[in-house]
């Protein structure tokens, strides 16, 4: 199992996703002799998981069932243990596109946090690219290294525990892109410029407050970055529901029949669909937005090294 290479069967030591439903899933580390409790009963790793194919339907001890899914960065974002506030797929998707990332790209990131974006970046630049990620907090940096080893992507990422605003990323003139998610990104713009390749490298800064964006843009201009622009991505989810609506009264059927020469008393026309429709309801599918939606997450500021 690897987050960047698909494995067909579940093996001892794998990280798998137990899928109970779209709103209920969690990660589990597969180990011989271990059991996992769910609301549908017990899952025994030795007999129910190891050796089975990913995507299998597993019956629990109480008779209920779950699916066992192969981990992906998208599923990990929804299930990872939160050490910090994380980025979700809405922002991650635009970041990877606007930074023009592809297999073989070199990316610098700060800070690592819970590793949500890190896993997506690693999957994007694999198999020949590399991620250099910097985390100020020592325990979070150590936990990130441990997760990358468990997910078998450690050869694609280097985790450094230091202050990026003072010490930079530890590399110079090699990065195709830099991503900043720190409280004062304007203090790291100089180090980001040093890490980027000689010309054309892209930078992105994520900030929740517009005051941070303003100071970051000024710093980008000072260091000669061009094409500076800020985006805010808002996601609106729709539920598909079946709705029943009463058909409007468009006038008496008798009046319509007399104007068209239609004889409602004729046996051949009694029980006509037109008469039934005048008094009934109709059902159809409709898209309805959620009553509560996630609004602002943060501002994404992009720029290019001139």
Query: How many residues are given for the chain?
Result: 306
Strands (E), the chain: 15-21, 24-29, 35-38, 41-44, 57-59, 65-69, 106-110, 130-135, 157-161, 177-180, 202-207, 225-231, 238-246, 281-289, 299-305
181 is in an annotated binding site: yes
Closest CA to 16 of 53, 59, 65: 53
User: Coil, helix or strand for 95?
Assistant: helix
259 is in an annotated binding site: no
Instruction: Provide φ and ψ at 118, rounded to 5°.
Output: -60, -45
135 is in an annotated binding site: yes
109 is in an annotated binding site: no
205 is in an annotated binding site: no
In angstroms, the CA 175 to CA 47 distance is 46
116 is in an annotated binding site: yes
Q: How far is CA 273 from CA 127, 269, 270, 289, in A?
A: 64, 9, 9, 34
Please name the residue ranges forming H helices in the chain. 73-79, 89-98, 116-125, 138-150, 164-167, 189-195, 210-222, 253-260, 273-279
Please state the residue numbers annotated as binding site.
Answer: 114-117, 135, 181
Please state the residue numbers annotated as binding site for S-adenosyl-L-methionine.
Answer: 114-117, 135, 181
């Amino acid at each position: 199992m690897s987050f960047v290479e698909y494995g067909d069967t579940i093996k001892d030591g794998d990280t798998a996703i137990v899928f109970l439903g779209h709103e209920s899933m969690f990660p589990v580390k597969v180990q011989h002799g271990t059991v996992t409790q769910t609301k549908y009963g017990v899952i025994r790793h030795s007999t129910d998981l190891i050796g089975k194919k990913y995507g299998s339907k597993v019956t629990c001890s109480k008779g209920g069932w779950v699916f066992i899914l192969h981990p992906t960065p998208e599923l990990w974002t929804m299930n990872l243990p939160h050490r910090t506030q994380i980025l979700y797929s809405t922002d991650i998707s635009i970041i990877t596109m606007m930074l023009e990332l592809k297999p073989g790209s070199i990316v610098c990131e700060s800070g690592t946090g819970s590793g949500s974006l890190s896993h997506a970046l690693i999957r994007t630049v694999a198999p020949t690219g590399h991620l250099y990620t910097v985390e100020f907090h020592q325990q979070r940096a150590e936990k990130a290294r441990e997760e990358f080893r468990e997910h078998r992507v450690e050869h694609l990422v280097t985790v450094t525990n230091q202050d990026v605003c003072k010490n930079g990323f530890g590399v110079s003139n090699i990065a195709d892109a830099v991503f900043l998610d720190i409280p004062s990104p304007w203090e790291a713009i100089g180090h980001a410029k040093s890490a980027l390749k000689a010309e054309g490298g892209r930078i992105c800064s994520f900030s929740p407050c517009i005051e941070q964006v303003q100071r970051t843009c000024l710093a980008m201009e000072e260091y000669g970055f061009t094409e500076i622009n800020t985006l805010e991505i808002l996601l609106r989810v729709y539920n598909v529901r079946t709705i029943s609506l009463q058909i409007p009264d468009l006038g008496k059927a008798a009046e319509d029949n007399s104007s068209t020469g239609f004889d409602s008393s004729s046996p051949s026309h009694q029980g006509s669909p037109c008469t039934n429709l005048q008094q009934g309801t109709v059902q159809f599918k409709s898209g309805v937005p959620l009553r509560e939606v996630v609004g602002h997450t943060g501002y994404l500021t992009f720029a290019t090294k001139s």
